[in-house]
Amino acid sequence: MYLRHFGLREYPFSLTPDTAFYYAYPGHQEAINVLSIALLSDQGFVKVTGEVGTGKTMLCRKFLNLFDQNAISLWLPNPQLNARALRQAGAEELGVDPASFDDHKVLKQMNKRLIEYHTQYRRVIWVFD
């Protein structure tokens, strides 16, 4: 319906945001600038909040696309997990098999992997959406 009626080449709506359709609203651009400065100055944690539908997921995806070549991007779309499940998800994202270790060893292997990335001058960006 949309394609023919509006003369579009592709469908305008999807379940996941497409960064090809990103529009840099001033507030979104400011958030990306803050995230970039925090990342480049090794600030640690940054929290982006907003109402449902305000573009947080699109913003996070756009931000991760800025650093694809220079960073390791980890995406966790379900932060409603308990602490153990978050560790396991993080381990999997870092390429550590959480099933083969107890919790302490999983953290140890994750830390080892993060140190490896650091020695390669690669940043790790972990987004909880």
Say what percent of the chain tops pLDDT 90: 15
Whether residue 68 is predicted with pLDDT greater than 70 in this model: the reply is no
Q: What is the pLDDT of residue 54?
A: 87
Q: What is the pLDDT of residue 115?
A: 94
Closest CA to 81 of 128, 46, 114: 128
Domain ranges of the chain: 1-66, 71-129
Q: At what angle do helices 56-66 and 26-40 cross, to 10 degrees?
A: 50
Centre a 10 Å sphere on the Cβ of residue 24 and count the other Cβ atoms it contains: 10
Instruction: Please provide residue 123's backbone torsions phi and psi, each rounded to the nearest 5 degrees.
Output: -85, 150
First to last CA, the chain: 31
Centre a 10 Å sphere on the Cβ of residue 110 and count the other Cβ atoms it contains: 19
Say what percent of the chain tops pLDDT 70: 98
Round to whole Å and give the CA distance between 98 and 119.
23
The 10s digit of each residue's pLDDT in 82-107 is 888 888 888 998 989 888 888 889 99
Round to whole Å and give the CA distance between 39 and 118.
14
The structure tokens 């909040």 sit at 49
Closest CA to 71 of 113, 122, 121, 36: 122
